[in-house]
């Protein structure tokens, strides 16, 4: 995450564990930091009348948190039947193996290295567990393996790190690519326009109730930063660290290493499109 600018929409009272929609409950992991905001949002998703639940992003390898997720599901009368990952960053996925042991579930992810079981995830897949419907949306850019999950019954999308509830996300060069990320944002915008999605359930930060506004904000922010980086290079700031110090001067210095990853991705994008010369 690189910026703390406010996003459109009305967050639901900050970041708290608890129900966010009729089908999604957030369990906040205790791993708050500059990079993870208030912590990782682990999502328990289930049909209200079903005994089966899906957990998205078990979070860090923290046994207390993982057991807490199981306990909250069980107190709601649910058994965790499947674990899904939005991407492989440790704050989302490191605890998946241990969580699978606790629940006896398979772990499905885009990256084969993260899977436990034979079945992965791919764009267009529809996950149906206990009557629940989750549609897999390919959203590379933050990382190459990033996915989102469309929850049509609640007109919501679970976005992992592709869209956050506060601030903006890192395009994590070299695995993340800006062109892919912009395409992913446009794909999410189409969900808000064509499929009626109005709520973002992010991997960090509060729920956003204006999904389209959030996507438009992200697209405008990326265009603004890209223009700033292009201008900085034209003005003689040639290295990524120089660009960060110039363009991100108003951002907390503790976030500069993350900002540099995004700058590297932006520089690659500008070179690929012939907007700046080769390094």
Query: Which pLDDT score is estimated for 2?
Result: 45
Confidence of residue 15 (pLDDT cuts 50, 70, 90): low
pLDDT at 1 (0 to 100): 43
Q: How confident is the model at residue 4 (pLDDT cuts 50, 70, 90)?
A: very low
In a domain, 255, yes or no: no
User: Tell me, what CATH number does 110's domain have?
Assistant: 3.60.15.10
Q: Is 56 within the bounds of a domain?
A: yes
In this structure, is residue 154 part of a structural domain?
yes
Contacts with 131 (C-beta within 8 Å, 6 or more apart), sequence order = 47, 49, 50
Parallel/antiparallel/unpaired status of strands 126-129 and 107-108: unpaired
In this prediction, residue 279 carries a pLDDT of 61
Instruction: Please check the confidence at residue 272 and state whether its pLDDT lies above 50.
Output: yes
Residue 135 lies in a domain: yes
pLDDT value of position 12: 46
- pTM of this prediction? 0.94
pLDDT of residue 59: 98
Any domain includes 273: no
In a domain, 165, yes or no: yes
For residue range 161-186, what is the model confidence (pLDDT) as tens digits?
999 999 999 999 999 999 999 999 99
Q: How confident is the model at residue 14 (pLDDT cuts 50, 70, 90)?
A: low
Q: What is the pLDDT of residues 251-264, one digit of tens each?
A: 889 999 999 999 99
How many domains does the chain contain in total? Answer: 1
For residue range 211-249, list pLDDT tens digits in order: 999 999 999 999 999 999 999 999 999 899 999 999 999
pLDDT (tens digit per residue) in 43-56 = 999 999 999 999 99
pLDDT at position 217: 97
What pLDDT score was predicted for residue 8? 59
- Give the model confidence (pLDDT) of 112-135 as tens digits: 999 999 999 999 999 999 999 999
Say if 254 falls within a structural domain.
no
**Structural domain of residue 24, as residue ranges?**
18-211
- Report if residue 191 sits inside a domain: yes
Task: Compute the average pLDDT of residues 58-72.
Answer: 98
Mean pLDDT for 106-110 is 98
On the question of pLDDT at 270 being above 50, the answer is yes
Amino acid 63: pLDDT: 98
């Amino acid at each position: 995450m690189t910026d703390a600018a406010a996003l459109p929409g009305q967050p639901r009272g900050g970041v708290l564990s608890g129900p966010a929609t009729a089908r999604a409950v957030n369990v906040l992991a205790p791993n708050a930091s500059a990079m993870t905001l208030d912590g990782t949002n682990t999502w328990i998703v289930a049909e209200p009348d079903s005994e089966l639940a899906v957990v998205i992003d078990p979070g860090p390898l923290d046994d207390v948190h993982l057991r807490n997720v199981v306990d909250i599901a069980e107190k709601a009368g649910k058994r965790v039947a499947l674990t899904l990952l939005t991407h492989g960053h440790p704050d989302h996925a490191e605890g998946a193996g241990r969580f699978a042991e606790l629940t006896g579930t398979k772990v499905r992810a885009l990256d084969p290295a993260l899977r436990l079981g034979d079945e992965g995830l791919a764009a267009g897949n529809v996950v149906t567990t206990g009557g629940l419907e989750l549609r897999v949306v390919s959203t590379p850019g933050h990382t190459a393996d990033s996915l989102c999950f469309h929850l049509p019954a609640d007109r919501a999308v679970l976005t992992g790190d592709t869209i956050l509830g506060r601030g903006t996300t890192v395009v994590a060069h070299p695995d993340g690519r800006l062109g892919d990320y912009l395409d992913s944002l446009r794909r999410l915008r189409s969900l808000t326009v064509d499929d009626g999605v109005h709520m973002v359930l992010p991997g960090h930060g509060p729920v956003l109730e204006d999904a389209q506004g959030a996507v438009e904000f992200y697209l405008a922010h990326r265009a603004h930063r890209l223009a700033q980086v292009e201008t900085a290079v034209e003005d003689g700031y040639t290295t990524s660290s120089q660009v960060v110090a110039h363009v991100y001067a108003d951002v907390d210095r503790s976030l500069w290493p993350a900002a540099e990853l995004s700058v590297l991705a932006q520089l690659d994008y500008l070179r690929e499109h012939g907007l700046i010369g080769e390094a």
